[in-house]
Amino acid sequence: MRIDGKAVLITGASEGIGAACVESFRRRGARLSLVARSEEKLKQVGGAGAVITAGDITLPETRETAVARTLERHGTIDIVVNNAGVGLYSPSWRASIDETRRMYELNFFAPLALIQLVVPYMRANKSGMIVNVGSVAGKMTLPWFTLYSTTKFALGSLTSGLRMELRNDGIQTMVVCPGYVKTRFQTNVIDGHPPDRLLRGRKFAITAEQCAEAIARGVERDARTVVTPAYSWIYIALHRLFPSLIDAQLAAIYHGESAAK
Ligand SMILES: NC(=O)c1ccc[n+]([C@@H]2O[C@H](COP(=O)([O-])OP(=O)(O)OC[C@H]3O[C@@H](n4cnc5c(N)ncnc54)[C@H](OP(=O)(O)O)[C@@H]3O)[C@@H](O)[C@H]2O)c1
């Protein structure tokens, strides 16, 4: 889909990947509508032209306000980028159920509810694109991130199902699966922290700007799935081909064991 002139609603746009998406879509001529809790940061990121809705996207009133304001200013919603998300590093066998529900509210139910609000307008236009920001953790379960992985698997499955449900309505869906991206995501988590070896891998992480460019290019070429950096496909493929071997390596990283063990 061409981005120039399109009305694009981005959640989690105040920092990280979402804020970088604002730049990537703006450069391509998008008309923007941004959501996050921090009004101050949204104003900085959005500049003069963007519609801004400051609020918690897990609340129905925030979603309804964001959609209403976008329609009022731009007359339509062409692209939705469900980007807001949060991590939880607690082991699944002892994680707080309340915290797990909180993560699901943001990572799964908020995108689903926003999709339910915008799809009627997209169906009426016979055009639209739904972009859901998942994770490589939504392609292969990471043991330090088991419950987070479940939310991203759910989001990936939703993206696939919607594509088939809406195939006669001119609406496309795309899931984005970033690997490690240099943002404050690791410190913004609900609870817990990643294994040391993973943190040491930060030097190999891509920037939020690289991730956002991959997302915008994915929209332009009507991609179903964007994995970024692209070499993460190798891990995903290896995991499918040799699940026991890769599970053992991931478990070793999780338990801080040496690769040779
Ligand atoms: N960074 C990575 O390594 C990585 C890898 C794979 C996938 N991802 C995914 O990429 C997406 C963006 O991650 P990121 O790295 O950019 O994270 P981030 O730097 O922590 O940014 C998260 C964004 O979401 C917003 N947000 C959080 N809770 C919200 C709520 N309840 N309502 C509205 N907005 C909320 C935050 O703004 P406010 O605080 O102002 O609300 C912020 O703009 C997430 O879905 C994440 O799961 C990240």
Residues 227/124, Cβ–Cβ less than 8 Å: no
Q: What residues make up the domain containing 82? A: 7-234
**252 in a structural domain:** no
- Mean pLDDT per 10-residue section of the chain, whose length is 261 residues: 98 98 98 98 94 98 98 98 98 97 99 98 98 98 97 98 98 98 96 87 92 98 98 97 97 79 44
**240 in a structural domain:** no
**245 in a structural domain:** no
**83 in a structural domain:** yes
For residue 56, give the ligand 1 atom closest to its CA.
32
**155 in a structural domain:** yes
Which is catalytic among the residues 89, 104, 121, 148? 148
Q: What was the pLDDT predicted at 192?
A: 93
For residue 84, give the ligand 1 atom closest to its CA.
24
**158 in a structural domain:** yes
Q: How many domains does the chain have?
A: 1
CATH of the domain at 192: 3.40.50.720
Helix (H, G, I), strand (E, B), or coil: what is residue 239? helix
pTM for the whole structure: 0.97
- Cα distances from 145 to residues 3, 142, 206, 208, in angstroms, run 34, 5, 19, 20
Q: What was the pLDDT predicted at 258?
A: 63
The residue nearest atom 39 of ligand 1, judged by CA position, is 37
**129 in a structural domain:** yes
Q: What was the pLDDT predicted at 166?
A: 98
Is 180 a residue of the active site? Answer: no
- CA torsion sign, 230 to 146 to 239 to 225? negative
**1 in a structural domain:** no
Residue ranges around ligand 1 (CB below 6 Å)? 11-18, 35-38, 41, 56-58, 83-86, 106, 133, 135, 178, 180-181, 183-185, 188
Q: Which two tokens stand for residue 31?
A: 């008309």
